[in-house]
Amino acid sequence: MVMTQISYPKKLVIASRESRLAMWQAEFVRDCLKKRYPDCDVSILGMTTRGDQILDQTLSKVGGKGLFVKELEVALEDGRADLAVHSLKDVPMQLPEGFELACIMEREDARDAFVSNDYAQLADLPVGAIVGTASLRREASLRSKYPHLDIQPLRGNLDTRLGKLDKGEYAAIILAAAGLKRLGMTERIRSLLSPEDSLPAAGQGALGIEIRAARPEIQACLAPLNHAPSAMAVTAERAVSRALGGSCDVPLAAYAVWEGGDLFLRAFVASTDSQTVCRSEKRLSLNSMAEANGIGLSVATDLINQGAMSLLPPR
């Protein structure tokens, strides 16, 4: 049998959004690659996406999560970049033909964070307190457990959202804990929401690296950065979301954790008014991406059998 020798590139360009968090993520990947391949010139191509530009409307009304990745994919397609670093929760469940997620790095804390200047936790908020979130998933969780709160949309990058809180526009905001921790802003977290109070989004806390599919030399470079336990967990989560047409206009959560040798996957789909919620969970010992995808499809099937499709907007 003839063995194909893959030579590693001498130069790599990372496409990234230009927000502070996105650049931190790209710089983190750059540093990991430079440490492993010291002779490789690794640089970052910063870009502004439509998702960064449109801040006066919710994502569900202007095109969804794909607004954050399209420009980066164009840079991959035309050869200006070799890989793109994404917060995995922002990556659509179906990638365009010719693209693939080549690597999923070790996951940060996937939980949601309660951020407030005046209150220590959600239970302390008074009737009518304004809480900001950009997520229908978070909104559904909050409305079901804290119906007395006034849930309002909150767009913008991390610094913009914190700025609106600090100006007094909100009593509290809900953010992904991972972003705050990565930027050294853990002190802004007043409390972490348990999965029981706010089940995370599929892929939350994980970094995904996207490439053009026909780039085996890039795949080989990224292989050592892939974290198999994280990859299997988020593969299961994304399988749930993909089967249900998960997008920004669907209040859907899917979260998997390793407990012993088992993967424990929980998911829910809610109506947009949060009055109806379908829930499912499964636990399975697994060893492959195919099995991870399978447990996700099993949970999705259970949700569909409960009537979840009737809660989703028409495709």
Q: Which residues are catalytic?
A: 90
Tell me the three state secondary structure of residue 247: coil
With contact defined as beta carbons under 8 Å apart, do 293 and 236 qualify? yes
Q: What is the rounded CA–CA span in Å between residue 150 and residue 235? A: 34
With contact defined as beta carbons under 8 Å apart, do 51 and 59 qualify? yes
Residue with tokens 């996700």: 296
Q: What is the rounded CA–CA span in Å between residue 24 and residue 194? A: 26
Apex CA 271: angle with CA 266 and CA 277, to 5°? 40
Buried/exposed code over 243-263 (b: 16+ C-beta within 10 A; e: otherwise): bbbbbbbbbbbbbbeeeeeeb
CA distances for 23 relative to 19, 31, 37, 297, angstroms: 6, 12, 20, 34
Interstrand relation of 262-270 and 252-259 (parallel, antiparallel or unpaired): antiparallel
Count each helix (H run) and each strand (E run) in the chain, helices first. 10, 13
Tokens of 224: 């050592």
Q: Rounded to the nearest 5°, which phi and psi values hold at 240?
A: -60, -50
SS3 content of the chain, % helix, strand, coil (to 5): 35, 25, 40
Q: What is the rounded CA–CA span in Å between residue 277 and residue 311? A: 8
